[in-house]
Chains A and B, each alone.
Chain A
Amino acid sequence: MRDSNLRKKRHLPTMLSLLLTMTLIISACSSTGGSDGADGNTNDDGTSEIGEQVLDNKTSFKFDPPISFTTALTFQQQTDRDFKPGESIEDHVHLRWMRDELGLDVSYDFVVPNSEDYETKMRLLLSGNQDLPDVMTAFTGLANDLITAKKVMPLNDIIDQYLTPNLKALYEEYPAVLYPVTRDGVIYGLPNMYAMDEGTIMWVREDWLQNVGLDAPKTLEEFEEVLRAFTEDDPDQNGQDDTLGLAVSLKDGPFQWMASADPIVGMFSDYVAQTTDPAQFWHEEDGKLIYGTTHPAQKEFLAQMNEWMELGYIDPEAGIKDPTKAAEMVASGQAGVIFGPYWMNGYPLSGSPEFQPYPNPAGPGGQVGRAEKQMVHDYVMFNADFEHPEAVIAYINKLFAANFGEDDPYYDPQFKNGWHEGYDYVEYEGEVYHNNFEENGLPVSEWPKPDDPTVTYSIKFPITGAPFVPYLGDPAFQKFKDDPDAQSNSAMETRIKSSQARQLDAGLVRISQNDTAIHNQFAGPPTKTMLSKSELLTKLESESYLKIIYGDEPIEYFDQFVEEWKANGGDQLIQEVNEWYETTK
């Protein structure tokens, strides 16, 4: 507090003097960049020296003198249960470890609570021609701006030279992850990926099934019968007509992060309907990409939803509820079925043990499908002026190696049991504990954190987020299902090992249906029409879908909607997306 007071006082005279000299010109965004000598460790051949240092000693490199760099972060902290007392997002165990063990000194140019603010902040820095962070993360839209503005570094050589072979192999396996940040063969960003464990499964109330004498539905007919029974046969046996079948959020389109309807879409076709983003979902057919939302197959989906809506099987307020709101229906015992990810075990179903995970039911033609979320959440990009990207890459390699396991050349055995002892795990008398310390008879003095699942002390990684690798964790679900006490061999496994039994079951249900996942096949930068007509198209899509489901428009209206969609930019969109698609062949 004292510190910030000093700063205020220091600023006041500066400000007042500026008040007097202020001219009425703002366009003079004179470039004041390049004045920072913060990276005070530069000697002429520093770059190669550091590179060699990393390559010579992949597992235990340390930069001396330390390399300082800045970054920016999206981080939302509500309680102080994320950190040990006295630690904060700007000073915590992982940052100290980076500084002391690796010689990497990170500081934040800014920390904001959500991605919208992050983008605003970055664009303001761009507008003011202010220094961008040395290392930054960006999603496709902002990444596009940064590349167009020539503010970020080409990474092809650095990837070739320094990136761990396991990540290189990953990019080869999923080439589309690099498309949004590739221009004419030049790569500008490293993808931070999801664990890809969020694929939608079906959660059904087991006790209601028993009460109405039904099994978990496997087909559309059975599914409909369950919805009917849950709506009409008083499944909670309280003598009141206060239940319904499906809790779902349709406000922002059929595919949601929770309370989704994508498995219902997937019963009827391989084309995913998503009404809020023209960049998804695109599907290949005869060498061309076609748009899922306007595909005629969606008529069946819409007709079905409309029928259920009129019968009262679906929450009549699905159209005005966001996923959190829709999920209240199941948590409060008003609805018996909800589609969503495996983690719904922890929220919102933690207080509803009656819900059990099941595979998504099959459609009329035996069709099973669900939408797969995009693989990349953002890209790591380097400021074009940053001098030591290879040092940061070495750090990234080390993090991912912890998940890839011993075979990775950058594997550091210290991460075998978790990230930092005393934070996310503790070793006591040869055994490793991540939670349930009391149950396992650990003396209180040894507990790394309070024995309370809401206290996480999870590690906040400054650049990569948690270093996930798509689908890498899948085998571990079975492993720990078979033997909850099995030895964990990587950070990824450790994370899964600490799951509750129902969560493991749910994960296994998801894995069993991985082959039914439908991927978006457009992965380019936003096209011209996406930028200029997106609002119009998505409004048309969202409005038409909901109106048909609610019966405000007949199902035939779908064709009219598609015509309108095409006339208002849809045709151009299809053309541009396919032009991009040609370039990937």
Chain B
Amino acid sequence: MTMAATDSSTALRPTPQKRKPIKGRWLSYVRKTWPLHVLLLPALIIALIYNYTPMFGIIIAFMDYEPWLGVNESPWVGWEHFEYLFSYPDAKQVIWNTIIIASLKIVMQMFVPVVFALLLNEVRLTWYKRTAQTLVYLPHFLSWVVLGGIFVDILSIRGGIVNRFLGQFGIEPIFFLADGDWFRITVILSDIWKDFGFSAIIFLAAIAGINPALYEAASIDGANRWKQVLHITIPAILPIFIVVVTLSLGRVLDAGFDQIFNLYNPLVYDKGDIIDTFVYRVGLQGAQFSFATAVGLFKSIIGFILIVISYRMAYKWAGYRIF
């Protein structure tokens, strides 16, 4: 149940096989672990074929790929597409927008679902809890194409529900979708609104897995509910929390294409245009496969570096290997 459980339990094991000769060690390794390899086999094969084989396609990031020429005959252009990305006059702005929007989303997605899961767990009425749980994850299923139109309505400066509500407090109508700073806030808040319920499921599952005996014991010891949450619930979901946070750092250059694309407009380009919408617009004049691949590669590398770093940090500080 604690984070170091796996490592410590195995570390205590005696390792008698060390004395055996190499061949025998190998045989014993195979004898002991072959089922583990077999269990991995289907995933390995599918990953090799459908995920790793296509990765050779990454080379088109260094080509001027034309569909009819294929990989063999399209001309090599080296780093040209990366240079184009960085020499683009608004590159700095677009990358910065992406990082700031994506990081704020990550931070929100880090805490809101956990807090919600903890709060929901405190609700005693089972039917209420279950209904709430089902309702909050609904927005996850509505596409941004549909929600985009709805958001234009509710954020309208001419009688939109949000501005009418703010008007009750004497606040002047805010043009959420046409003012750069408000646009960012809108994007981040609507993103957390759409997904907090869905993201909370994983924590609710973790909470459900906690052994009720622990709470009973704590109760008998006189710990109040707050103390129980602090010392039982939170430590129990911490591993999953660290996993989710670490993995989500890999998406620091994904600010959410569908959402931005359906909400943005030229008035907020300077604060709201992100890498993916930029790549989309570049592709409008005929598909730019090479450029899109180059940008994708750039995003992957940055994401991978961040995951490696946070993986190390999680191990160093929390003593926990997330995978």
Contact = CB atoms under 8 A, between A and B. Distances in A.
A29 B72 contact: yes
Given A317-B158, A534-B285, A126 B178 contact: no
A568 B88 CA distance: 10
Contacts of A127: 67, 70
Contacts of B265: 251, 319-320, 546
Contact of A120 (B56, B90, B273, B287): B287
Contacts of B178: 317, 319-320, 550
A144 B264 CA distance: 31
Contacts of B128: none
Residues of B in contact with A, size category: 35 or more
Contacts of B68: 126, 145, 148-151
B26 interface: no
A22 interface: yes
A123 B71 contact: no
Contacts of A242: 159
B267 A535 contact: no
B54 interface: yes
A538 interface: yes
Contacts of B270: 543
B267 A320 contact: yes
Interface string B65-95: 0111111100000000000000011100000
Given A251-B265, A319-B267, A320-B267, A27 B157 contact: no
Given A24-B56, A251-B266, A539-B269, A317 B71 contact: no
B45 interface: yes
Give chain A's interface residue range (CB within 8 Å of chain B): 35 or more
Scoring B57, B70, B156, B289 by chain A CB atoms within 10 A of each residue's CB, the highest score goes to B70
A316 interface: yes
B286 A531 contact: yes
A351 interface: no
Contact of A29 (B45, B70, B158, B282): B70
B271 to A, nearest CB: 12
Contacts of B52: 24
B89 A319 contact: no
A19 B49 contact: yes
A321 interface: yes
B152 interface: yes
Interface of B: 45, 48-49, 52-54, 56-57, 66-72, 88-90, 149, 152, 156-159, 175, 177-178, 265-267, 269-270, 273, 278, 281-282, 284-287, 289
Name the 6 nearest CB pairs between A and B, nearest first. Answer: A149-B68, A126-B67, A542-B266, A127-B67, A534-B285, A27-B71
Interface of A: 19, 22, 24-27, 29, 119-120, 123-124, 126-127, 129, 141-142, 144-145, 148-151, 242, 251, 315-317, 319-321, 325, 334, 526, 530-531, 534-536, 538-539, 542-543, 545-547, 550, 552, 568
Given A148-B68, A526-B285, 20 more contacts: A22-B49, A24-B52, A120-B287, A123-B67, A126-B68, A127-B70, A149-B66, A149-B68, A149-B69, A251-B266, A316-B157, A316-B158, A317-B157, A317-B177, A320-B152, A334-B158, A543-B267, A543-B270, A545-B266, A547-B266
27 contacts: A19-B49, A26-B54, A26-B56, A26-B57, A126-B67, A129-B70, A145-B67, A149-B66, A149-B68, A316-B157, A317-B156, A317-B157, A317-B178, A319-B266, A320-B265, A321-B152, A530-B285, A535-B278, A535-B281, A535-B284, A542-B266, A543-B269, A546-B265, A546-B267, A547-B267, A550-B178, A550-B267
